[in-house]
Structure 1
Amino acid sequence: MRGVVKRYGAATVLDRVDLAVAEHQVVAVIGASGSGKSTLLRCVDLLEDIDDGQLLLDGVDVSDPRLGAAATAAAQRRMAIVFQTFNLFPHMTAWENVALAPRVVHGLPAGQARQRAGDLLRRVGLDRFADAYPDRLSGGQQQRVAIARALAVRPRLLLLDEITSALDPELVGEVLTIVREVARDGMTILMATHEMGFAKQVADVVCFLDGGRVLEAGPPEQVLGDPEHERTRAFLARVIAAGRLG
């Protein structure tokens, strides 16, 4: 992201954001509610048009409107996003949810798509629930299916938008364990999170977003342990008081 600006009417939600994610790197974006974290991820995934700046994927500005809809769709096929809510198709089983995009969007033959879905459900510990519909799964299980669905398209970049915020506390750990394993395998990840302890464990870089601006970025031990900016220190003090630093 180079100088990215996003406005909704008179409100500037992202204000000249500069942010880089290297291959195989995990970058965690932290900040208070309303700081722009979710909007940032939606802009990266081209779900929102930006008002200024550039979004570069492998050196190509995929936000350039002159590239056209086909180029935008091609860029989106190289990324995958997991939202706060699971957004599974309720009329499809777990394996059907996971197999859909590889088959329909990426043209994978049905048999191979099902095989890939089965392998991924096994990876996230849900192979015995492959034929279950979402309403038969817990929130943590649904979110693990959503992660498997994102991984099924073999994305260049995996985007995670506060993926534990809708879960009961006892279900958070099972989802974070899967993300930790995916990160360990070398997946390139950009995630917005309020789980500071988790960010400290898995992220290569932590960015503090405040009022739509990146106020501070660096290694987790520096940003979370010895922040330079007063606003970062104030935010982390509130996090510690809430017991979320870990």
Structure 2
Amino acid sequence: MSASLLSLRGVRKTYPGPGRGAAPKVVLDGVDLDVTEHECVVLIGASGSGKSTLLRVIDLLEEVDDGQVLLDGVDVADPWVDANAARARMAMVFQQYNLFPHLRVLDNVTLALRLVHGRGRAEAAASGLAMLEKVGLAHKARAYPDELSGGEQQRAAIARALVGAPELLLLDEVTSALDPELVGEVLDLLVALRDEGTTMVVATHEMGFAREVADEVVFLHDGQVHERGTPAQVLDDPQRERTRDFLRRLR
């Protein structure tokens, strides 16, 4: 069995309570997770189950209160570890596209290449155009974000994440802000990335996508992993009552 590229061990995250003296809100409660190279792990669960926070913890956008976030065996949540170097090995795509409206699409895609990775403008532009071609947006390179549809903007955001060749791609409900008719074009892109062997952790409410693309489905409830397994195991034959309730509500 391949060693895990990413391992979470006993990850716990809390936020302050709503009022003075209130107990802290537990968002992640002892989460264990393993992701091997070229694997796609899909996180499912109701709103507030901890999916987005888990992705932010992996990307070091949130500090953990306890536990380990191991990237190639190194605990990148350790304060002594260079978080920027660890984060450069990952890329995250959010629900909202977060494109800079005053920059053209190509400049949005290549900005981090130039500022973070130190690429020259010409080299960055060549890489950016190749990635836009890959996601079907080369013809929009000179457009501004508000000239793109929602699906095109999200594909541009994915291109921006991929252009730095991350080892791990994190995606947080990337179709939730899209009109229903635009969801398919983004999901098709993710399926293609999965087929190419991109290592991904994806939070989604699209069960059809989870069934098609996931190597493992992880059901989160109240910040805990309640069930995990193949799509057939979790989606077709769930063993836990909470999992069954969640899937019944979706249907």
Amino acid at match of 1:133: Y
Deviation of 1:66 (Å): 2.5
Give 1:190's aligned residue. Answer: 201
User: Is 1:36 aligned to residue 36 of structure 2?
Assistant: no
1:244 is aligned to none
1:238 is aligned to 249
1:47-62 to 2 correspondence within 5 Å? 47-62=61-76
SS at match of 2:34: coil
- Deviation sequence 1:55-104 (CA, Å, 0-9, x none): 0000000000122xxx1000000000000000001111111011111111
Please name the residue that 1:243 is paired with: none
In 1, Cα distance between the equivalents of 2:13 and 2:159? 30
Q: 2:100 aligns with which of 89, 98, 102?
A: 89
Structure 1 unmatched ranges of 5 or more: 241-246
Counterpart of 1:167 in 2: which secondary structure? coil
Distance (Å, rounded) in 1 between the aligned partners of 2:33 and 2:147: 39
Q: Report what 2:79 is aligned to.
A: 65
The Cα offsets for residues 141-193 of structure 1, whole Å up to 9 and x where unpaired, read as 00000000000110010000000000000000000111111111011000100
Residue 148 of structure 2 aligns with an amino acid whose one-letter code is L
Aligned residue for 1:50, secondary structure, equals coil
Listed one character per residue, the Cα deviations across residues 187-222 of structure 1 (whole Å, up to 9, x for unaligned) are 100010000000000000000000000000110110
Secondary structure of the structure 2 residue equivalent to 1:15: strand
Q: What amino acid is aligned across from residue 215 of structure 2 in structure 1?
A: D
Amino acid at match of 1:57: L
SS of equivalent to 1:135? helix
- Matched to 2:73, the amino acid is G
Unaligned 5+ segments in structure 2 are 1-7, 17-23
In structure 2, give the amino acid aligned to 1:160.
L
Q: Does 1:5 align with 2:19?
A: no
2: CA distance, partners of 1:235 / 1:133: 40
1:142-153 equivalences in 2 (<5 Å):
142-153=153-164
Task: Specify the SS of the correspondent of 1:66.
Answer: coil
Between structures 1 and 2, the one with greater helix share? 1
Name the CA distance, whole Å, in 2 between partners of 1:168 and 1:147. Answer: 17
How far, CA to CA, are the matches of 1:180 and 1:101 in structure 2? Answer: 25
Q: How many residues align?
A: 237
- Number of the residue aligned with 2:133: 122
Aligned equivalents of 1:53 and 1:184: distance in 2?
Answer: 32
> Partner letter of residue 114 of structure 2?
R
**Alignment counterpart, residue 208 of structure 1, candidates 199, 210, 219:** 219
Letter in 1 for 2:14: R
The corresponding residue for 1:20 is 34
> What is the identity percentage for the equivalent residue pairs of Structure 1 and Structure 2?
60
CA distance in 2, matches of 1:118, 1:178: 17
CA RMSD of aligned residues (A): 0.6
Aligned twin of 2:235: 224
Cα distance in 2 for partners of 1:53, 1:66 equals 15
SS in 1 for 2:33: coil
